């Protein structure tokens, strides 16, 4: 593999696409329209940041690549599922995602709901089959990811987000919502890989945990900044939709400059957590900077 993490990303994403393809039912398998919609939701787009975090953490801990595929695939399936729900008329009501019509636009609302419903159990089925780890680790992985997407994780964060439309949240409440809605799955991507290293010193586990929490919140603040400053054809979804929906966001509450400053502060805090890993953390360092500096 090439030396720089940036140059290995293509190989990792190609590997992930292959594993996602193997995990998804064939589009020709009945009910074909449902399976087609599931593939449409998952394939052909997306930065794949969460699976890359799984692989980068695995590199940091010297884990075998084959151990990382199942959590990487499962987390991306859950992420894809959440995007389908997030775009539905009852939620954010968006027509465009990853530069393509959203699933309910390309198919229909009922098919989109069912496709998302089927992606979630598929993720857990992939996790249940993870090879080369003890049953205890497999159970911890399932618990970690279930908690990250449940009512005290992503779903809870989405509920707070919807109820906050048109209201002013405190900065602490806003960051709590971000930590759940977006941060929980990003955090789980790093922690899933750390669970696979059974004798990981507590200090290293805590450093990865803190790193992951910080970049999870920074990811959502950057997403907010892009919603204000990005172009629709670059970010792949309608720009300005947060303002249009009267969403509680960091830029709406504190302005763009303060949002950028908070992102940088979170990045610095996250990078400081990686010091104990030395050069082995270069891939995580690269991804953390990418999250805060990306243009889409
Ligand atoms: C029941 C688990 C469950 C979910 C339903 C809809 C919902 C509750 C939660 C939505 C969570 C959500 C969509 C948060 C936004 C996170 C976010 C910034 C998504 C964009 O992620 P990127 O930029 O997208 O990684 P790509 O397209 O690159 O994969």
Instruction: Give the pLDDT confidence of 122-131 residue by residue, as tens digits.
Output: 999 999 988 8
pLDDT beyond 90 at 243: no
For ligand 1, whether the C-beta of 91 sits within 6 Å is: yes
Supply angle C-alpha 42, 135, 274, rounded to 5.
65
Among 121, 119, 83, 120, which Cα is nearest to 104's? 83
Q: Which residues contact 94 (CB under 8 A, 6 or more apart)?
A: 86, 87, 102, 237, 238, 241
Least confident of 19-28, 213-222, 226-235: 226-235
pLDDT beyond 90 at 204: yes
- Distance of alpha carbon 158 from its chain centroid, rounded? 14
pLDDT beyond 70 at 12: yes
Pocket test for ligand 1, best of 76, 146, 155 (most atoms within 8 A of CB): 155
The CA-atom distances, in angstroms, between 177 and each of 50, 75, 107, 181, 283 are: 19, 20, 31, 6, 27
Give the pLDDT of residue 68: 97
pLDDT, the chain, mean: 96
Average pLDDT estimate for 171-200? 97
For ligand 1, whether the C-beta of 237 sits within 6 Å is: no
Residue 2 — pLDDT band, cuts 50, 70, 90? low
Residue ID of nearest Cα to ligand 1 atom 16: 182
Residues found in the chain:
296
Rounded to the nearest angstrom, the distance between the alpha carbon of 220 and the centre of ligand 1 is 10
d(CA 112, CA 220): 24
Average pLDDT estimate for 41-51? 96
For ligand 1, whether the C-beta of 98 sits within 6 Å is: yes
pLDDT beyond 80 at 179: yes
Rounded to the nearest angstrom, the distance between the alpha carbon of 182 and the centre of ligand 1 is 6
Beta bridge partners of 100: 97
Give the pLDDT of residue 71: 98
Average pLDDT estimate for 9-21? 97
Q: Which residues contact 111 (CB under 8 A, 6 or more apart)?
A: 33, 34, 37, 103, 104
Average pLDDT estimate for 230-256? 90
pLDDT beyond 70 at 1: no
For ligand 1, whether the C-beta of 49 sits within 6 Å is: yes
Q: Which two tokens stand for residue 209?
A: 């945990």
Question: What φ, ψ does residue 128 adopt, rounded to 5°?
Answer: -65, -20
Question: What φ, ψ does residue 156 adopt, rounded to 5°?
Answer: -60, -40
H/E stretch holding 9 reads helix 5-23
**Can you give the C-alpha Rg of the chain in angstroms?**
18
pLDDT beyond 70 at 10: yes
pLDDT beyond 90 at 215: yes
Residue with tokens 């005290």: 152
Residue 121 — pLDDT band, cuts 50, 70, 90? very high
pLDDT beyond 90 at 16: yes
d(CA 20, CA 243): 34
Average pLDDT estimate for 228-254? 90
pLDDT beyond 70 at 171: yes
Rounded to the nearest angstrom, the distance between the alpha carbon of 80 and the centre of ligand 1 is 7
Give the pLDDT of residue 252: 94
Query: Could you tell me if 193 and 71 are in contact, meaning their C-beta atoms sit under 8 angstroms apart?
Result: yes
Residue ID of nearest Cα to ligand 1 atom 8: 155
Residue with the bigger pLDDT between 165 and 184: it is 184
Average pLDDT estimate for 77-92? 97
Least confident of 23-32, 238-247, 278-287: 238-247
């Amino acid at each position: 593999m090439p030396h720089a993490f940036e140059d290995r990303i293509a190989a990792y994403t190609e590997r992930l696409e292959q594993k996602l393809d193997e995990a998804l039912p064939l589009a020709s398998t009945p009910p074909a329209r449902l399976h087609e919609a599931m593939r449409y939701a998952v394939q052909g787009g997306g930065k794949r940041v969460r699976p890359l975090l799984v692989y980068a953490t695995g590199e940091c801990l010297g884990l075998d690549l084959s151990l990382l595929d199942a959590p990487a695939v499962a987390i991306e399936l859950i992420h894809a599922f959440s995007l389908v729900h997030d775009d539905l008329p009852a939620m954010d009501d968006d027509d465009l995602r990853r530069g393509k019509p959203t699933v309910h636009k390309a198919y229909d609302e009922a098919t989109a709901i069912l496709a998302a419903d089927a992606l979630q159990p598929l993720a857990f089925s992939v996790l249940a089959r993870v090879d080369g780890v003890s049953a205890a680790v497999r159970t911890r992985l399932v618990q970690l990811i279930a908690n990250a997407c449940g009512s005290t994780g992503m779903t809870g964060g989405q509920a707070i987000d919807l109820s906050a439309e048109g209201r002013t949240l405190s900065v602490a409440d806003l960051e709590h919502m971000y930590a759940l809605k977006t941060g929980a799955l990003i955090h789980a991507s790093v922690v899933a890989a750390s669970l696979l290293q059974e004798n990981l010193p507590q200090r290293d586990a805590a450093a990865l945990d803190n790193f992951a929490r910080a970049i999870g919140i920074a990811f959502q603040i950057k997403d907010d900044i892009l919603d204000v400053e990005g172009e629709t054809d670059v970010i792949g979804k309608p720009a300005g939709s947060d303002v249009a929906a009267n969403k509680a966001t960091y830029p709406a509450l504190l302005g763009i400059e303060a949002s950028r400053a908070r992102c940088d502060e979170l990045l610095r805090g996250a990078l400081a957590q990686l010091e104990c890993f030395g050069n082995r953390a270069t891939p995580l360092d690269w991804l953390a900077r990418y999250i805060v500096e990306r243009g889409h």
